[in-house]
A and B are shown apart, each in its own frame.
Chain A
Amino acid sequence: MDILELLCQNSRLTDEQIATMTGLDEETVKNTIKNLEEENIILKYSAIINWEKTDKEIVHALIDVRITPQQGHGFNAIAERICQYDEVKSVSLISGGYDLSVEVEGKTMKEIALFVAERLAPIDGVLSTTTHFILKRYKQNGVFFTDGPKDKRLVVTP
Chain B
Amino acid sequence: MNSEKYISDIIKKIPSSGIRRFFDLVTNSKDIISLGVGEPDFTTPWLIRKEGIDALDRGSTTYTSNLGLPELRIAISTFLKNHYNLDYNPEKEIMVTVGASEAIDLAVRCLLNNDDEVLIPEPSYVSYAPCVALTRGIPVFVPTDARNNFKLTPDDLKSKITRKTKALILSYPNNPTGAIMTENDLYDILNIIIENDLIVISDEIYSELTYEGKHVSIASLPEMKERTILINGFSKAFAMTGWRLGYIASNPAFIEAMNKIHQYTTICAPIMSQLAAIKGLNNCEEDVIKMRKTYDQRRRFIIKGFREIGFECFEPKGAFYIFPSIKKTGMDSQQFCERLLKEEKVAVVPGDAFGPSGNGFIRVSYAYSLDRIIKALEKIEHFARKFI
Show the binding face of A for B, using Cβ within 8 Å: 2, 6, 9-10, 17, 20-23, 149, 151, 153-158
- List 13 interface pairs A-B (beta carbons < 8 Å), by A numbering: A20-B301, A22-B300, A153-B37, A153-B41, A155-B23, A155-B27, A155-B347, A156-B19, A156-B36, A156-B37, A157-B37, A158-B19, A158-B38
Name which residue of chain A comes closest to B298, CB basis: A21
**Which of B26, B37, B39 has most A Cβ within 10 Å?**
B37
Q: Judging by beta carbons under 8 Å apart, are B370 and A154 in contact? A: no
Q: A10-B370, A10-B371, A20-B304 are in contact. Are A157 and B26 (CB under 8 A)?
A: no
Q: Judging by beta carbons under 8 Å apart, are B23 and A154 in contact? A: yes
Show the binding face of B for A, using Cβ within 8 Å: 17, 19, 22-23, 26-27, 32, 34, 36-39, 41, 43, 125-127, 175, 293, 297-298, 300-301, 304, 347, 349, 370-371
Name which residue of chain B comes closest to A151, CB basis: B41
Q: Judging by beta carbons under 8 Å apart, are A21 and B300 in contact? A: yes
Name which residue of chain B comes closest to A6, CB basis: B297
Q: Which residues of B contact A17 (CB under 8 A)?
A: 301
Q: Judging by beta carbons under 8 Å apart, are B26 and A156 in contact? A: yes
Q: Which residues of B contact A154 (CB under 8 A)?
A: 23, 37
Q: Which residues of B contact A2 (CB under 8 A)?
A: 293, 297
**Which of A23, A149, A154, A155 has most B Cβ within 10 Å?**
A155
Name which residue of chain B comes closest to A13, CB basis: B370
Q: Judging by beta carbons under 8 Å apart, are B301 and A21 in contact? A: yes
Q: Judging by beta carbons under 8 Å apart, are B22 and A23 in contact? A: no
Q: Judging by beta carbons under 8 Å apart, are A158 and B301 in contact? A: no
A144 to B43, CA, bound (A): 16
The minimal Cβ–Cβ distance linking A127 to chain B, given in whole angstroms, is: 39
The 4 closest A-B pairs by CB, nearest first: A156-B36, A21-B297, A156-B23, A155-B34
Other-chain contact of A22, B22, B41, B297, B370 (Cβ < 8 Å) = B297
Q: Which residues of A contact B17 (CB under 8 A)?
A: 158
Q: Which residues of B contact A149 (CB under 8 A)?
A: 43
Q: Which residues of B contact A157 (CB under 8 A)?
A: 19, 23, 36-39
The minimal Cβ–Cβ distance linking B274 to chain A, given in whole angstroms, is: 23
Q: A22-B297, A151-B41, A156-B347 are in contact. Are A9 and B370 (CB under 8 A)?
A: yes
Name which residue of chain A comes closest to B40, CB basis: A153
The minimal Cβ–Cβ distance linking B364 to chain A, given in whole angstroms, is: 12
The minimal Cβ–Cβ distance linking B134 to chain A, given in whole angstroms, is: 16
Q: Which residues of A contact B38 (CB under 8 A)?
A: 157-158
Name which residue of chain A comes closest to B18, CB basis: A158
A153 to B293, CA, bound (A): 22
Name which residue of chain A comes closest to B25, CB basis: A156
Q: Which residues of A contact B347 (CB under 8 A)?
A: 155-156
A22 to B304, CA, bound (A): 13
A149 to B22, CA, bound (A): 26
Q: Judging by beta carbons under 8 Å apart, are B300 and A158 in contact? A: no
Name which residue of chain A comes closest to B23, CB basis: A156
**Which of B293, B297, B304 has most A Cβ within 10 Å?**
B297
Q: Which residues of B contact A155 (CB under 8 A)?
A: 23, 26-27, 32, 34, 36-37, 347
A6 to B301, CA, bound (A): 12
Q: Which residues of A contact B32 (CB under 8 A)?
A: 155
Q: Judging by beta carbons under 8 Å apart, are B27 and A153 in contact? A: no
The minimal Cβ–Cβ distance linking A146 to chain B, given in whole angstroms, is: 17
Q: Which residues of B contact A20 (CB under 8 A)?
A: 300-301, 304
A20 to B301, CA, bound (A): 6
The minimal Cβ–Cβ distance linking A148 to chain B, given in whole angstroms, is: 10
**Which of B22, B41, B175, B304 has most A Cβ within 10 Å?**
B304
Q: Which residues of A contact B27 (CB under 8 A)?
A: 155
A23 to B125, CA, bound (A): 29
Q: Which residues of A contact B125 (CB under 8 A)?
A: 158
A151 to B34, CA, bound (A): 10
Q: Which residues of B contact A23 (CB under 8 A)?
A: 300
The minimal Cβ–Cβ distance linking A5 to chain B, given in whole angstroms, is: 9
A155 to B345, CA, bound (A): 12
Q: Judging by beta carbons under 8 Å apart, are B349 and A156 in contact? A: yes
The minimal Cβ–Cβ distance linking A20 to chain B, given in whole angstroms, is: 5
A15 to B300, CA, bound (A): 14
A153 to B241, CA, bound (A): 10
Q: Which residues of B contact A6 (CB under 8 A)?
A: 297
